[in-house]
Amino acid sequence: MIEQAIAVTNNKMAADKLEGKMEVIYIDGTLMDVLKISRDYIHKGHRLLTHPLSGSVKPNETPYKTILISKFNGKTIDVDSLSIIEYSIHTCEKLLKNKTTPRWPQKILDDFKLIDFDLIYNAIN
């Protein structure tokens, strides 16, 4: 990845491994919180650098999400980024309404952290 980025994440593993490589905004909250805070940054002129629903794990299956946004904000709102994040929030709400995220044991939560980090690591490289 050539462009400087900010990682918005609720995944402590990803936050720890990305710290020092880029700016990290760690959110002690839900996947939905990550989506909404990313949307707030897009409203300030930042752009999405990774798709919020990347990977094959659904938002109602995993509690973790890491999203990369542009470090520098523009003077206008990127309409494509806003459209993608709004669609992602809507999709997440719809999935969570139909089936909430299970209360996974710690081993499975650790696996979801690794999957989320691996997706971002591969996007960066």
CA distance linking residue 116 with residue 64, whole number of Å = 7
Contact indicator for 8, 37 with CB cutoff of 8 Å: yes
Query: Phi then psi for 101, rounded to 5 degrees?
Result: -65, 130
pTM: 0.94
Residue 71 in 3-state DSSP?
coil
In tens, the pLDDT along 16-74 reads 999 999 999 999 999 999 999 999 999 999 999 999 998 888 888 999 999 999 999 88
